[in-house]
C-alpha cells in the first residue's frame, strides 16, 4: 500500500510548527518549507510570552488556555526551558490600580481567570522588595514564557526526530496550488497545502490575502543587562498594557488609564509603547516595545523611542540597565479578526495571525485548523 501523501506547510514560525505538530501527531506525513536557513521572523524576535491573563473572554481566552497545556508538553518533549510561574503586571498609578482591582473583583471570577492582586505588603516580599515602589501587581498565574531563540530550534528538532516531520530550509516557495508547492528545490505534491507565511502578504496568495486588508506591525526591541542581579523568573508588564490587552481594555476603569496616558505621556500613545520585559535563561532581559503599522514597515528605528522604553524599563525594575542588543520585531496585524483560516480552494489554505499573540494562541488554533482540514479531506 503506497504511503499517504503529506501535508505541505509553508513557514517554520510558531504557526507553521504548530500545524506541523497537530498534523504529525495524528499520524500524517508532514513537510515544512522555510525560506531561510533557520526561522528569522516574528517567532524568534518576540518576548516569548504565552499569556493567558491578557486574552479577552471568548475564543482567544479558550485558545490561550488550551495552548498553555501544549507548551507544557512541548517543553518536556523538546527539552527547552518553560517558565510556568506566571507574570506580574505592575500598577504604577491609582487609575491602573483601580483597573486591576476591578478586573480581580469582576471579570476574573466571572470568566475563570487565575490571578491575584498583590498590595504593598506583598510587594515588599517580592524579589526582596525590588518592586515595592509600585502601587500593586497583578499576578497572572497561568502565564508562561520561553526564550524563543532556543525554544523554536528545539521544537524543530523534536518534530523531526520524534514525529518524522521533514524540513526543507533555505527553500523559497514560489507558488502554491491545491496539493502542490513549487519551490527553489523543486515541485512537491501532497494532500493539502497550508501557508503560514507570517507577515509576507505578497509572495503567496496575494489576492485572497489582500481582501483581508492586513498590515505589518514593526516593533522596536532591546536586550538589556540589569545593573542589579535580579534573578528575574517572571515576565513583567505594566498598567500601560491594560489599554492594549483585551482582558482589560474594555472595562470601564480602563478609560481613566487611557486618559492619563494621553494627558501625561502622549508620546507613548503615538508610538504604541507599552512595556514588556522577559528574562532569558542567561540573565539578561528582552525589553520593548513600540508599535508602528504600515503596508511596508520602515527599516529605521527612532533612538528616542528606545530611550522612552529604556526609561520605562528602569522605572519598573528600580535599577539601571545596559543595552546589549537592538532589533526590530515584526508581525502581521489588523484585519477584521484576530486570526484567519483562509480557505482558498480544496487542498489549499492559509493560517494567519492579525495580532501579536501567536505564541499565546497559535498551538491550539492549529489543532482546530487541522481537525477541520481532516473533516474536509
DSSP one-letter string for 275-288: -EEEE-TTS-EEEE
pTM of the complete model:
0.96
Instruction: Please state, in angstroms and rounded to a whole number, the distance separating the CA atoms of residues 367 and 184.
Output: 29
Helix (H, G, I), strand (E, B) or coil at 197: coil
- What integer pLDDT is reported at residue 1 of this predicted model? 53
Q: At what angle do helices 148-163 and 14-24 cross, to 10 degrees?
A: 20
pLDDT along the chain (377 residues), means of 10: 85 98 97 97 95 97 98 98 97 97 98 96 94 97 97 98 98 97 98 96 94 94 96 96 95 97 96 96 95 92 97 97 96 90 95 94 97 80
Architecture of domain 87-141+214-334: 2-Layer Sandwich (3.30)
Residue 145 sits at φ, ψ, to 5 deg, of -155, 140
* Cell numbers at 284, concatenated: 539578561
- What integer pLDDT is reported at residue 4 of this predicted model? 86
Q: Cα Rg for the chain, rounded, in angstroms?
A: 21
- What integer pLDDT is reported at residue 376 of this predicted model? 63
- What integer pLDDT is reported at residue 297 of this predicted model? 87
- What integer pLDDT is reported at residue 363 of this predicted model? 98
Instruction: Please state, in angstroms and rounded to a whole number, the distance separating the CA atoms of residues 3 and 56.
Output: 43
CA 324 vs CA 88, 226, 310, 327: distances in Å: 24, 10, 12, 11
Closest Cα partner for 353 from 247, 216, 235?
A: 216
Residue-range domain boundaries for the chain: 7-45+149-211+336-376, 87-141+214-334
Report the b/e string of 287-324 with b at 16+ CB within 10 A. bbbbbbeeeebeeebeeebbebbbebbbebbbeebeee
CA 163 vs CA 75, 153, 207: distances in Å: 15, 15, 34
How far, in whole angstroms, is CA 150 from its chain's centroid? 15
Closest Cα partner for 167 from 294, 339, 17?
A: 17
- What integer pLDDT is reported at residue 377 of this predicted model? 55
CATH number for the region 7-45+149-211+336-376 comes to: 3.50.50.60
Instruction: Please state, in angstroms and rounded to a whole number, the distance separating the CA atoms of residues 63 and 268.
Output: 30
- What integer pLDDT is reported at residue 192 of this predicted model? 96
- What integer pLDDT is reported at residue 374 of this predicted model? 87
Give every strand in the sheet of 192-195, ordered side by side.
166-168, 30-33, 7-10, 192-195, 348-353, 339-345
CB 346 within 8 A of CB 260: no
Query: 6: which DSSP letter?
Result: P
Amino acid at each position: 500500500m503506497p504511503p499517504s501523501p503529506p501535508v505541505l506547510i509553508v513557514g517554520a514560525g510558531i504557526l507553521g510548527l504548530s500545524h506541523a505538530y497537530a498534523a504529525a501527531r495524528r499520524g500524517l506525513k508532514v513537510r515544512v518549507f522555510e525560506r531561510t536557513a533557520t526561522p528569522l521572523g516574528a517567532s524568534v524576535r518576540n518576548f516569548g510570552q504565552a499569556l493567558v491573563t491578557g486574552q479577552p473572554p471568548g475564543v482567544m481566552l479558550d485558545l490561550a488556555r488550551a495552548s498553555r497545556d501544549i507548551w507544557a508538553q512541548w517543553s518536556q518533549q523538546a527539552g527547552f526551558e518553560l517558565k510556568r510561574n506566571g507574570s506580574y503586571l505592575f500598577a504604577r498609578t491609582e487609575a491602573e490600580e483601580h483597573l486591576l482591582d476591578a478586573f480581580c473583583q469582576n471579570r476574573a471570577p466571572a470568566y475563570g481567570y487565575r490571578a491575584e492582586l498583590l498590595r504593598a505588603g506583598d510587594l515588599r516580599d517580592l524579589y526582596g522588595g525590588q518592586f515595592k515602589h509600585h502601587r500593586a501587581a497583578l499576578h497572572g498565574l497561568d502565564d508562561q514564557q520561553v526564550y524563543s531563540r532556543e525554544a523554536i530550534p528545539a521544537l524543530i528538532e523534536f518534530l523531526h526526530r520524534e514525529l518524522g516531520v521533514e524540513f526543507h530550509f533555505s527553500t523559497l516557495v514560489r507558488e502554491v496550488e491545491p496539493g502542490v508547492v513549487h519551490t527553489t528545490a523543486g515541485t512537491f505534491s501532497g494532500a493539502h497545502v497550508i501557508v503560514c507565511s507570517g507577515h509576507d502578504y505578497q509572495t503567496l496568495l496575494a489576492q485572497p490575502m489582500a481582501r483581508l486588508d492586513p498590515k505589518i506591525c514593526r516593533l522596536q526591541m532591546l536586550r538589556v543587562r540589569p545593573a542589579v542581579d535580579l534573578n528575574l523568573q517572571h515576565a513583567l508588564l505594566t498598567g500601560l498594557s491594560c489599554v492594549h490587552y483585551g482582558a482589560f481594555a474594555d472595562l470601564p476603569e480602563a478609560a481613566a488609564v487611557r486618559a492619563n496616558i494621553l494627558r501625561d505621556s502622549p508620546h507613548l500613545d503615538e508610538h504604541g509603547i507599552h512595556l514588556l520585559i522577559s528574562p532569558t535563561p542567561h540573565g539578561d532581559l528582552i525589553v520593548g516595545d513600540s508599535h508602528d503599522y504600515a503596508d511596508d514597515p520602515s527599516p529605521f528605528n527612532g533612538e528616542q523611542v528606545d530611550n522612552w522604553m529604556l526609561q520605562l524599563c528602569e522605572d519598573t525594575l528600580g535599577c539601571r540597565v545596559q543595552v546589549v542588543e537592538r532589533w526590530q520585531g515584526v508581525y502581521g496585524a489588523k484585519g477584521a479578526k484576530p486570526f484567519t483560516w483562509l480557505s482558498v480552494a480544496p487542498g489549499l489554505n492559509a493560517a494567519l495571525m492579525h495580532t501579536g499573540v501567536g505564541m499565546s494562541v497559535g498551538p491550539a488554533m492549529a489543532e482546530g485548523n487541522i481537525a477541520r482540514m481532516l473533516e474536509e479531506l
